[in-house]
Each structure stands twice: as C-alpha cells, then as structure tokens.
Structure 1
Amino acid sequence: MNIIEIWNTLWNKRKILIINFVILAILSITISLILPVWYKSTVVVLPPKSESSLPGIGVLGDLALGGILTPGNENQNRFLAILNSRRLLTDVIQKYDLMTVYDKELMVETIKALKGNMDVEIGEELQINISVLDKDPERVADMANYIVKRMDDINIELSTKRARENRIFMEERLFFMLDSLSTLENNLKKFMEENGIISFEDQIAVGVSTAGEIKLMLMQQESELNVASKMMDQDNPRVVQLKMELQELKKHYDQFFSEKGMEKLIPNLSNAPELGIELEKYKRQIEYFTKVLTYLGPQVEQYRAEELKEIPSIEILDHAVVPEKKSKPKRSIIVIVSTFLGTALAAFYLLASEKIKRMNTLKS
C-alpha cells in the first residue's frame, strides 16, 4: 500500500479511529486518576572531609611505618553501605509501621519495597542525595530526615566502636612498650654500674690519656734505670729506688687493663670495644622505644577523644521538606502516551485488516 491508499483507508475508517481515540482517552484519564499519588522528598548531605586519625605518622616515618598506615578516603562507600544495611531499613520500617503501610506480611518483602522507594545518588560535587517516595507528603519528609539521622547515629556508633577497639589495642601496646623501656633502662643502669660507666666517651678519653702519660713515664723511668744500672751497683740506693718507682708505675699502668681498673672510675680499656658496642645497642633500643612511645601516646589520646565524641559525622546541606507537588503518577504523560499509542495500534490493525481483505478478494 502506498501513502495515498493508506490515507484513504484511514479516512474511510475515521469514525472508528475517532471513537477509539475518545475511548482510550477516557480510559487513560480514568486510570491515571485512580492510580495512587506518590510524593518525593530529598535530603542532601555532605560527608566529612577525610582526616587521618594517625597524628604520629610523621614520627614513625623514621621507622619505615608511615607508608602502610596512611588511611584512605572511604566516607562515601561507608555511608552508602549504611543506607543499604538491614539495620537501618528495619529501624525505618518499625518506626513508621511500613509493613502495614505497604500491606506486607514479611519483613524481607517490606525491606525490598522500601529499597524500591529509596534513591541514592552521588552529585557532581560529591554530595549524597537521598530521596524517598511515599503516599503521605508529611510522612515522606519526616522519613527522609529520619533515615539521615539513623545513618549518622549508626556511623557514629561504628566509629566510636572502632575507636574503642583501636584505643584498647594501642593502650596494650603502649603499656608493653613502657614496661619494655623500663626493663631496658634498668638493664642499662646495671650494665653501667657493673662496668663503672658514667660517661663512656669521656671516661675512655681520660683513661687513654692517663694511660699514655703513665706509659711515657714508664719509658723514661726504664731508660733512667738502665743508665743507673750500668753506672752503679744493683744494691745502690738510687738503683733500688728507681726499681721501686718503676714497679709502682707498672702497677698503675696495668690497672687500666684490669677488672677493677682505677676503682671503676675508668672502664677496663681492654674491654672498651665490646663495652662500646654493647652500650650502643642499649642506646639504639632506647631510642627506638622512645620514638614508638612518642607515636603511641598521641594515638591513644586521639582514639580516646574519638571514642567519647558524639558530634554529627555528616553535614546536612538541605533537609527534607514536605513536598508541594506529587512526584508520580505523571497523568498527562500517561494520557498522551496511552491514547496516541492505542490509536496508532488501532490504525495499524485497520490497515492490516484492509490489506488482508484485498488479498483475499484478489485470490477470489
């Protein structure tokens, strides 16, 4: 069929099409008026900026721990998870008796219906838009605001719980490090007392200098005794005196390399390298524990503050308000689309019937 034939067919059937059009219009208007009216209310919230809860991370930079302790920004995913949680949805259902409102017998069916009436979107500025649909305009606004409140309450509860667990863990580590540091300091004190160490570097410097002076005196005394022995008899008082003085100098010199060593005022020089290495080990361990403590102390206080705080964790940019207009059904769209679509289908049916009739006539 060409365009002219189509037009002539439709023109001849115009009464049927007009009647069909009127009937469809009346039916679509009636149905659109029967459909329940739904209202939408929206809350716009801004998640807080991601802040590190690790104030001592700079301190641990020297300990090569900073890179693994840096937290990521997870606020949006966290809030979206809370919004979809059974816990929040159940609270909303129970508060507004939605099982009765939605005419559902099971909680799981009511949760599914509530999820279908909720819409969560991330805006261009990363704000979270939470929209709720309901047949009661007063209830839908109150429900949207309550959902945000419960989301905030649950987030604070989870955050404080995590802060409490972190605080307990950090306190245990803090007390362990304090005990370890105290034990290490006591061991260092005992080590220094046993080895006569007050200021190791200064004592060794004084000991080496004094030992050097005594060694020089020994060499001079030995030279003088050697000359005197050649010139005098061994029983000569001068030779005897020089021998006694030389023996006394050797005794003083040997004390620097003995266990007692100058009544412990100067460490044993023969063990000086080992003592120095051991002392450096103690110093490095104490320095390590001290750095860890300077990190753990602020951490514990930070988690204590987070555990006690109850301030809102989100910022509400726009509260939900009672909607002034319905959200659905879109009656005009329903009437227009259903009427014209029905009319088009009717026209197609008439054209198809006319073509079949002509084909049957030609065959006859």
Structure 2
Amino acid sequence: MSLLDLLIVLARRKWTIVKTTVGLALLAFIVCLFLPKSYTAKTVVLPPQQNSSLASSFMSQLGSLGSLGAFAGSSMGLRDPNEMYVAMFKSRTVEDAMIDRFHLMQEYHEKYLSAARKAFESHAKVEADTKDNLITISVEDHDPRRAAEMANAYVDEYRRLSQHLAIGEAAQRRLFFEQQLEQAKDNLANAEEALKETQQKTGMIQMDSQARALIESAASLRAQIAAKEVQLQAMKSYATDQNAELVQTQKELDALRAQLAQLGGNTDAGSAGLIVPKGKVPEAGLEYVRKYRDVKYYETIFDILARQYELAKLDEAREGALIQVVDPATVPDYKSFPKRGLITLLAALAGLFLGIFIALVQEALARMKADPEQAQKLGLLRAALRRTAS
C-alpha cells in the first residue's frame, strides 16, 4: 500500500479510530476517578559545606612539624559528601525508626518489617542536587497532613542517628587526634619516668647548653621524619612511584634523615645511637642523654597532636548542626496522584494507535472477502479453527 492508499483507508474507517480513541480516553478518565488520591510533601535540607578549617588556617604556625596534622586533616575530606548523607537517610536505622514512629506496618498491611521497609521506600524518596548542593526528601501518603509530618520527621530521625556518628570532617579529625593524643601522652609519661630513674641512678641533673641544643634539634628532626613517613606510607596506597608529589615527599624525607645523620642520631625512637658527637657528653651521662632525647622527642610529638586536637575541637564547634532545613515540609494542597490529565492523554494516544491498527485489520479482512481465492482460504481457516475449538 502506498501512503495515499493508507490515508484513504484511515479516512474510510475514521469513525472506528475516533471511537477507539475516545472510548479508551474516557475509560482511563473514569478509572482515575476511582483511584485513591496521594499527596507528596517535600523537605529541602542543606548538608554541611566543606570549607576551610581553623586547622588549615593555623598550619603555617606549626611550620614543618605540622606535616602529620596537615596530612591527617586533608586525607579525611569527603569525596562526595552529598552521596554519603543520602545513604545515611536511606539507612536501615532511619527507615525502621520512621516505620515504628508512624506505625507503618499497620498502615501498609505488612506482617514483616522487611516488607514494610520496602513499602516505605516506594513512598519516600531522597535525592541530592549536585548543582545546588541540596538534598530533597519527598514522602507520599494518602493523607496530606501525614505526608508533611513524615517528611519533617525524616530529618529528625536522621539527626538522632548522626548524634552518635562522626560524619563531619572536623569530628573525624577530632576523634583521630584524640586517640593519637592519648597514646602520645602515655609515651611521654613513660619517657619522663625513665628519665627520672636515670637521674636518680646517675646523679646527673642537667647538661651544658650546647648538648641540650643538639639533643632538642635531633628530637625535632625525628618528629618531622615520623610525620613524613606516615604521609609517605599513605600516599603509596594510591600513587605510583613516579607521582610528582610522592617523589617530592620522598626527597624531603631523605633530606631530614641526612640532617639527623649529621647530628649523629637516627630515626628509630627506641635506638641507642648518640645524638651528639663524642666528647660533648661524659661517658657517665650517656644514658641520661638517651633518656633526655626520648623525652624531647615525645614532647614534640605530643605538642603537634595537642595543637591539632584543639583546632579540631574548635572546627567541630563551629560546624554546628550537620543538617540545616532550608524548606520544611508543608501540607500539600493538591494531589500528586493520580494525574488525570496525563493519564487521559496517554490513554488517548494509545487508543489512537489501537484504532489505526483495528482499522487496518478490518480493511485487510474486507479485501480478503472481496477476493474469491482469499475468501476461500479464509473459509478454510475458519473451519479449521472451529474443529480445533470443538
């Protein structure tokens, strides 16, 4: 059939197409009248912003000794924080709290909590807008007031969960330095106790200023080396040996080790190597020098961690509420389902295509009946179908 023949067929059977289109659209509209109405309430929240912290602002004050703190703070930045917050909203703990708070197992007529959780997930949606850096929480329910209450309660249940988790960068840094600070405090106390015992045994109370300066310089260098080694070890987990930043860090570490070697010391915290050249300290006071060296080393490490810990506490206090509500959910004044206009339009389009198909089938049957040979074959087909049915 040519296009003109097709148009002639459609024009000849236009009433079949019209009746099918109108009938299907009218049927869809009537069905929409009996479908239960649903309302959607939305809450828009603002997650914490990744801004510069006090730790990074005061890092220059620590000089090269801040390598450990700088690395610890930078390595804890979140790659995509919005995705993490969305996952937290969708966590089983938050969903179960919502189900229990609004008695959703009875509402959804479910016997098992897992089934009620799936039903709730079909009625609630949490989406992150990467452009505006906002998170939208949508809750659908047949009661508009209940939908608004659930959308707002979703944020409340999330906040209850987040109170027990350190998900902010400052909170993570605070926990990290808090643990490291406790260990450094114990190490320093042990070193001080060992120095005290050495003083009592050797009778040596103090040393000359030159030896003291050399020991303190060596302790400072060892602290810098410890920080660089931690940074280098972590960088090797994601960077190749040809990485420019890794190569630069390795050169800085080698330079620090060379400076320490010039003083006669080494990087091992428990080593017994001398820190000052021979002749600077009497043989009787050599043990005192070693203990004093350990005390200065652990004092330097403790000072680094204490500064970073205090800055992390200030950052955490400045961070404030993790989630800020931009637009709280209000009672929706218009239903979100069913969308009668859209459903009716789609039904009309489906009816149009169905009507065209029926018109073409009717035209094909009519032509077959008009052709004697085709009519005979059609009769044989009908007879075969009757025998099969009987």
Equivalent residues in 2 for 1:203-352, closer than 5 Å? 272=281, 274=283, 281-298=290-307, 312-352=321-361
In structure 1, what residue type is equivalent to 2:121?
K
Whether contact under 8 Å (1:42, 1:321) holds in the other structure is: yes
For the pair 1:134 / 2:144, whether they are aligned, the reply is no
Segments of structure 1 that go 5 or more residues without pairing to the other structure are 203-268
TM-score (norm 1): 0.68
Whether contact under 8 Å (1:174, 1:297) holds in the other structure is: no
Q: Partners of 1:270 and 1:306 in 2: how far apart?
A: 49
Partner residue of 1:65?
68
In structure 2, what residue type is equivalent to 1:62?
L
Query: Over alpha carbons, which structure has the higher Rg?
Result: 1
Q: Partners of 1:331 and 1:173 in 2: how far apart?
A: 67
Partner residue of 2:24?
24
**CA 1:91–1:302 in structure 2 vs 1: closer, same or farther (change >3 Å)?**
farther
**CA 1:60–1:190 in structure 2 vs 1: closer, same or farther (change >3 Å)?**
farther
In structure 2, what residue type is equivalent to 1:73?
L
Give 1:91 deviation, angstroms: 0.8
Whether contact under 8 Å (2:25, 2:351) holds in the other structure is: no
Q: Partners of 2:190 and 2:88 in 1: how far apart?
A: 42
**CA 1:341–1:115 in structure 2 vs 1: closer, same or farther (change >3 Å)?**
same
For the pair 1:183 / 2:183, whether they are aligned, the reply is no
Partner residue of 1:102?
108
In structure 2, what residue type is equivalent to 1:65?
L
SS at 1:73 equivalent: coil
Q: Partners of 2:202 and 2:50 in 1: how far apart?
A: 49
Whether contact under 8 Å (2:69, 2:304) holds in the other structure is: no
**CA 1:270–1:319 in structure 2 vs 1: closer, same or farther (change >3 Å)?**
closer
Give 1:76 deviation, angstroms: 2.5
**CA 1:294–1:119 in structure 2 vs 1: closer, same or farther (change >3 Å)?**
same
**CA 1:273–1:185 in structure 2 vs 1: closer, same or farther (change >3 Å)?**
closer
Q: Partners of 1:315 and 1:44 in 2: how far apart?
A: 9
Whether contact under 8 Å (2:99, 2:105) holds in the other structure is: yes
Whether contact under 8 Å (1:141, 1:321) holds in the other structure is: yes
**CA 1:287–1:5 in structure 2 vs 1: closer, same or farther (change >3 Å)?**
same
Q: Partners of 1:197 and 1:17 in 2: how far apart?
A: 108
Whether contact under 8 Å (2:187, 2:298) holds in the other structure is: yes
Partner residue of 1:39?
39
SS at 1:7 equivalent: helix
Q: Partners of 2:280 and 2:315 in 1: how far apart?
A: 53
For the pair 1:151 / 2:158, whether they are aligned, the reply is yes
Whether contact under 8 Å (2:42, 2:328) holds in the other structure is: yes
**CA 1:33–1:137 in structure 2 vs 1: closer, same or farther (change >3 Å)?**
same
TM-score (norm 2): 0.64
In structure 2, what residue type is equivalent to 1:95?
R
Q: Partners of 1:197 and 1:98 in 2: how far apart?
A: 74
Q: Partners of 1:270 and 1:21 in 2: how far apart?
A: 107
Whether contact under 8 Å (1:60, 1:66) holds in the other structure is: no
Q: Between Structure 1 and Structure 2, how many residues are aligned?
A: 298
After superposition, the C-alpha distances for 1:100-120 in whole angstroms (9 at most, x for unaligned) are: 222222211111121122222
Whether contact under 8 Å (1:60, 1:295) holds in the other structure is: no
SS at 2:165 equivalent: helix
Q: Partners of 1:291 and 1:167 in 2: how far apart?
A: 15
Partner residue of 1:89?
95
Partner residue of 2:119?
113
Give 1:276 deviation, angstroms: 8.0
CA RMSD of aligned residues (A): 3.9
After superposition, the C-alpha distances for 1:201-257 in whole angstroms (9 at most, x for unaligned) are: 49xxxxxxxxxxxxxxxxxxxxxxxxxxxxxxxxxxxxxxxxxxxxxxxxxxxxxxx
**CA 1:301–1:171 in structure 2 vs 1: closer, same or farther (change >3 Å)?**
same
Whether contact under 8 Å (1:42, 1:144) holds in the other structure is: yes
Bigger Cα displacement from structure 2, 126-135 vs 19-28 = 19-28
After superposition, the C-alpha distances for 1:78-104 in whole angstroms (9 at most, x for unaligned) are: 322221111110111111111222222
Whether contact under 8 Å (2:59, 2:66) holds in the other structure is: no
Whether contact under 8 Å (1:156, 1:313) holds in the other structure is: no
Within the candidate set 191, 200, 203, 1:193 is matched to 203
SS at 1:121 equivalent: strand
Q: Partners of 2:284 and 2:154 in 1: how far apart?
A: 68
